[in-house]
Chains A and B, each alone.
Chain A
């Protein structure tokens, strides 16, 4: 399929790449940044927010930065897509789903002079950073709002899969609710999908039918909050501001804000100061942003704002010890006054008060 000429050119490029790899990071005039998304840009959620970050880079460095993206990349087939970006002159590549971890590492080792950034993973390399956001901080706040506002005293949660990231979110949400309403009950439904609007909507309807009047979600489409709107109940937006889908129902949304981070990392490549790091930022780092508090009484709004400020200043940690497990026994506290990062990232238990069991 390829002519000898093309092979020759490829080999030449490889030699060039190797010789360039020997040079240490230096300031650059122009940077090409690539993105790999797991879903479509139009999912209104996870991938959409990453793309907002990409657009922020273009705005921040006019004329200096070009960006490209590949959307809806299946995790199993991502290596090809990542390598394609590496081969086509990108200096910095963001891979934005947990499942891209191994392929990113593999391609990063092959192209040592290109910088890689992998979202929500834990494997690093001298040219591969990792980053994630503490969404559970936002979930603690919405938990408090839900705990204050519920009339049926039952709040609901549509989860994607019973994995640590989602479990930690449920616990943070419930701990928030419990902190203002000790007897509040929670019902949990796993949709077993990140993205299936109709099924997410059905999951939400099931919860609403069973008496839930506050709905949190950890799946990507606006269908659950839309179901809450249709029933005259309340909900919280996920990943992006979903107000336009549920103007009366959305109390606030936990917005993923990657823009600041992406701009900073691109700047580091431009300046030649990029280093392999692990970033886990929350409300403090502006990675987790609460959209305006609406449709709620002033006292609830005030409470939410105070909690947000406390989390931002570091005086409040949603997983502050002591934390009790479902059996009422205290969970060993491995961090300073709160559960350690590892404990949160690997969370596989529900806290006291949740009556459900984690599906095995």
Chain B
């Protein structure tokens, strides 16, 4: 394996959890709901997936448990912001704090346990192509799943009637409601989808990436996923590009250090955030507000009676 291949492989694994979590949040936000609880749902996904995987000695059950945990957390959030029209920012932050705490509690008996690595899925013949072969055709299942998910989310949002409904509810929930579109129902499912994705991202972290559980192991990736949605101007394709840019920034700065390039590592660690600020700036330069941001994003929906 050449160094370039090795670097690219690490970038792909570093980017995958960001991509999965950000895709979920993108759908939630496109329906007009801002869920700042990604970090908490991700932590719960990591803890529950690891606990289930160790208990039942099955990665598959672990993944399912992680997604379920994320979904349940999201359902709680949906109850608050849809059922009670609670402030979305506050509820989302509360969800993060709750998730980080609760995941520590659930994971406590599993501190110190470890899982064996899962084997990469080797696609025969194709994986023998130099450079791109190993990169594209010898990854773990999650990597393929994340790319398929990107395509599906993109097709759903842009090419289906149901996706159009979701987007119009996100743009203007009052008009959508007047047209008879089911605002609450669509948002409920969008929130749950976001939770399931965050849970899956957490499961990837705990089962594939680090292969052990320890409290707080998500280490801010939920927040990066949130930034990624903004960076991508709420477009699935750009989430993919952004995730790989963010992943590359993290991994390349480590390589730059090891190769003694003399670039300040602290600055490079901040690259994803600087890129987000820059993207926001560029996006809003001509329009006053960030283009792509759903019109009703973050506004509680209380219909006129």
**Do A and B actually bind?**
yes
Enumerate chain A interface residues (CB-CB to B < 8 A): 39-44, 72, 156, 187-193, 195-199, 201-203, 205-207, 209-210, 212, 221-223, 226, 230, 244-245, 355-357, 359-360
Q: Are A203 and B266 in contact (CB under 8 A)?
A: no
- Given the complex of chains A and B, what is the CA–CA distance between A150 and B121 in angstroms? 32
> What separation, in Å, do the CA atoms of A191 and B269 have in the docked complex?
9
Q: How far in angstroms is the closest Cβ of chain B from A229?
A: 10
A205 to B107, CA, bound (A): 26
Max chain A C-beta neighbours (<10 A), residue from B17, B210, B258? B258
Give B residues with C-beta under 8 Å from A. Answer: 3, 6-7, 10, 14, 17, 104, 107-108, 111-112, 114, 117, 205, 209-217, 219-221, 250-251, 254-255, 257-260, 262, 264-266, 269
Check A189–B108 contact: CB distance below 8 A. Answer: no
A–B pairs, 7, beta carbons within 8 Å: A42-B213, A43-B214, A156-B258, A187-B258, A188-B257, A209-B6, A359-B257
A residues in contact with B264, CB < 8 Å: 359-360
Asked whether A210 lies within 8 Å of B3 as measured between CB atoms, the reply is yes
B212 close to A245 (CB less than 8 A): yes
Q: How far is the CA of A113 from the CA of B246 in the complex (A)?
A: 52
* Chain A residues, CB < 8 A from B212: 44, 197, 222, 226, 245
Q: In the assembly, what is the distance between CA of A207 and CA of B14, in Å?
A: 16
Which residue of chain B has the shortest Cβ distance to A220 in the bound complex? B214
Asked if B117 and A209 sit within 8 Å, CB to CB, the answer is no
Known contacts A197-B210, A245-B114; decide if A189 and B258 are in contact (CB<8 Å).
yes
- Which of the residues A192, A202, A207, A357 comes within 8 Å of B262, measured between beta carbons? A357
Q: Which chain A positions have C-beta within 8 A of B213? A: 42
B219 near A198 with CB under 8 A, answer yes
Interface residues of A, dominant DSSP: mixed
Determine whether the beta carbon of B215 is less than 8 Å from that of A209. Answer: no
Q: In the bound complex, do residue B117 and residue A230 qualify as a contact, i.e. CB atoms below 8 Å apart? A: yes
| B-chain residues with CB within 8 Å of residue A188 when the two chains form the complex | 257-258
**Could you tell me the distance between the alpha carbons of A226 and B217 in the complex, rounded to whole angstroms?**
15
Report B-chain residues with C-beta under 8 Å of the C-beta of A230.
117
CB of B221 within 8 A of CB of A198, answer yes
A188 CA to B254 CA, complexed, in Å: 9
CA distance A131 to B265 in the complex (A): 31
Q: Give every chain A residue within 8 A of B211 (Cβ-Cβ).
A: 226
Residue of B nearest to A190 (CB): B265
Q: Is the CB of A244 within 8 A of B219?
A: no
Contact for B214 among A42, A192, A209, CB less than 8 A: A42
Beyond A188-B258, A210-B3, 12 additional contacts (C-beta under 8 Å) are A44-B111, A44-B112, A72-B215, A190-B265, A198-B14, A198-B17, A198-B221, A206-B255, A206-B258, A212-B258, A245-B114, A357-B260
Contacts of A44 in B (CB 8 A): 111-112, 212, 214
User: In the complex, what residues of A have CB within 8 A of residue B108's CB?
Assistant: 42
A314 to B259, CA, bound (A): 37
B10 touching A198, Cβ below 8 Å: no
Are B250 and A199 closer than 8 Å at their CB atoms?
A: yes
Cβ of A140 to closest chain B Cβ, rounded Å: 23
Return chain B residues, CB-CB under 8 Å to A156. 258
How long is the Cα–Cα vector from A192 to B269 in the complex, in angstroms? 8
Residues on A with C-beta less than 8 A from B266 are 192, 359
B237 to A: closest C-beta gap in Å: 25
| A187 CA to B104 CA, complexed, in Å | 35
- Judge whether B214 and A202 touch: CB under 8 Å: no
Closest to B205 in A: A198
Cβ–Cβ contact A206 & B254, under 8 A? yes
